Chain A
Amino acid sequence: MPKQLPLVDYLVLGDDPHLEAWECTSCGARFFDRRNACAKCEADEFRRARIASEGVVRAFTIVSLAAPGIAVPFVSAIVDCDGTSVRANIVNVEPTDTHVATGMKVRLVTEPIGVDDDGVEGIGFGFEPIYAAT
């Protein structure tokens, strides 16, 4: 099996892919980037916290104009994952305003972004709609 690397370090790969944030041990504020201290309470101890892999779209846009090399249109969204907001693409959906709406339920999925010259596969993530069982 080829070696894999996540697109960002807060994406945890393996049998059960999920997102992990830095959670302030003092106030519980969550962050996705490398931290110097907590922006909410100034404490400087953090633990890894698993982010819920299902959530609700709180805001979205359908991007039709982007920098060269970025495929458009794509859906960018803010997903409320059980109280933690995550920015991500909404994938596996038609990028139109009739197929995407705020309030829709979505779940985390991973997808390959490419392979580098050493054969390492890059893995990104997005959220796909959860359709009610019919």
Chain B
Amino acid sequence: MSEDVWILGIHMTKFGKHPDKDAVDLAAEAARAALADGGVTMRDMGILAAGNLMNAAAGIGQMLQKQIGQTGIPVYNVANACATGATALRTAVMAIKAGEVDYGLAVGVEKLAGAGLLGAGGRTGGSEGKHYEPSGRYGAIAGTDGRIGTATMPGTFAQVGMEYGHKYEGVSFELFARISEKNHAHSTLNPLAAYTKKMTLDEIMSDVMIAYPNTRPMCSANCDGAAAAVVVSDSKLKTLSLEQRRRAVKISASVLTTDPWEEACQVLPDVNTLTRNAARQAYEAAGVGPDDLDLVELHDCFATAELVHYDNLMLCEEGGAADFFNSGAPWRDGSKPVNVSGGLQSKGHPISATGIANVWEVATHLRGEAGERQIEGAQVGLAHVIGLGSACGVHILEKAG
């Protein structure tokens, strides 16, 4: 039995536009604040795991070390789509569980303000008109996005939500918009969110349509930000101060999955099966169930995604996501608060930071330090991210003692 792992220090920067800071500045701010929060330094760290997806070849880990402390420890630069931050955290956790180190630092950072539409890469229209020549794995003679459906993020996740509506009752454009209304309302209490404006249902539904049924405020906001976490072994934590032990947050489960083969999974990404698998593994590892969760931060990259993940994380009966939302459960004063941070739709989604920022949000409530938006008495929480391709990270956290 490998030993338990705890979060000793954790930090998230303000999400939004940071024109005067580069990725290293933001990563350094998050990392140094997480170290200070844990009462440790780079000299204590045995491993650094770092992610910066949009610049993955640059080696953000070493760039960060060169600014905040070159101690010669191994660096793992990770890239795993929108699950990059969760992957960095899990990498540090695994090093401790393997018995190689007592302390690890995980950092995720992204500069994404003004990045526009993601997932529209590859050959696009307008490239034809010269010489048709089949190329690539589909032997395409021209760009396929827009001619053979869409592979953009908004369109893909729109279809994911519509597919749920085809399968189960009660799903509509208005329901998706109401989910967004909830998250934007929650964001008004989060000073670190990129957008903190409450929006009415009408404002959300009549905003610019991106990919039906997702309008602009129903899509995650591209922005800049970083988050970092210091993790520690159970045996080392026992040697630390009473204050450090009191504020430590237990990582009861750290799970990463990819999508197992299912019919259609290479046609429309299957974000459901791997999330369900990750949730099941995490609940089993932590010895808790969905009923035990006091709050959930799930990957609402689009309003349509939040709905299906109520079901995938088993917060409701299978097929019952619409009823679950309509019951009021996922509002902050409901029985199962979901995305009290404001979610990716308002807090923002600096890709590699997201998987640690979600953990920061949950940990901050478990420590009783969430200020105005504190979920009173929170003991257990779950943080979920998913990256297309696909990768899903689920962490279950528990309050100390």
User: Roughly how many angstroms separate A117 CA and B141 CA in the complex, as a whole number?
Assistant: 13
B137 near A66 with CB under 8 A, answer: no
Within 8 A of B (CB), among A32-62: 32-34, 39-40, 58-62
User: Roughly how many angstroms separate A113 CA and B134 CA in the complex, as a whole number?
Assistant: 14
User: Roughly how many angstroms separate A97 CA and B120 CA in the complex, as a whole number?
Assistant: 23
* Given contact pairs A66-B145, A83-B263, A59 touches B211 in the complex (Cβ within 8 A): no
Within 8 A of A (CB), among B157-214: 158-160, 162-163, 165-166, 173, 208-214
A8 near B149 with CB under 8 A, answer: no
Task: Confirm or deny: A63 has a beta carbon within 8 angstroms of a beta carbon on chain B.
Answer: yes
* Given contact pairs A61-B159, A62-B212, A78-B163, A67 touches B267 in the complex (Cβ within 8 A): no
B150 near A9 with CB under 8 A, answer: no
Task: Confirm or deny: B244 has a beta carbon within 8 angstroms of a beta carbon on chain A.
Answer: no
User: Which of B142, B149, B152 has the largest number of chain A CB atoms within 10 A?
Assistant: B149
A59 near B145 with CB under 8 A, answer: no
Task: Confirm or deny: A14 has a beta carbon within 8 angstroms of a beta carbon on chain B.
Answer: no
Q: Which residues of chain A come closer than 8 Å to B132, judged between CB atoms?
A: 5, 116, 118, 120, 122
Q: Which residues of chain A come closer than 8 Å to B137, judged between CB atoms?
A: 33-34
Q: Which residues of chain A come closer than 8 Å to B266, judged between CB atoms?
A: 31-33, 39
Contact among A83, A88, A116 with B131 in the assembled complex (CB-CB below 8 Å): A116
A78 near B268 with CB under 8 A, answer: yes
Interface size in chain B (residues, C-beta < 8 A): 50
B150 near A7 with CB under 8 A, answer: no
Q: Is the interface of B mostly helix, strand, loop or mixed?
A: loop
Q: Which residues of chain A come closer than 8 Å to B127, judged between CB atoms?
A: 69
A97 near B212 with CB under 8 A, answer: yes
* Given contact pairs A34-B137, A85-B264, A87-B267, A114 touches B142 in the complex (Cβ within 8 A): yes
Task: Confirm or deny: A71 has a beta carbon within 8 angstroms of a beta carbon on chain B.
Answer: yes
Task: Confirm or deny: B238 has a beta carbon within 8 angstroms of a beta carbon on chain A.
Answer: no
Task: Confirm or deny: B371 has a beta carbon within 8 angstroms of a beta carbon on chain A.
Answer: no
Min CB distance, A131 to chain B, in Å?
20
User: Roughly how many angstroms separate A84 CA and B139 CA in the complex, as a whole number?
Assistant: 20
A3-15 vs B, Cβ < 8 Å mask (1 yes, 0 no): 0011111100000
The 8 sampled A-B contact pairs (Cβ below 8 Å) are A6-B141, A7-B148, A32-B267, A34-B138, A70-B124, A78-B159, A116-B130, A117-B131
Not counting A61-B150, A61-B211, A64-B211, a sample of 17 additional A-B residue pairs whose C-beta atoms are within 8 angstroms of each other reads: A5-B141, A6-B141, A8-B139, A8-B141, A8-B148, A10-B138, A32-B267, A58-B166, A59-B268, A66-B146, A74-B150, A76-B149, A85-B263, A85-B267, A89-B148, A97-B173, A102-B165
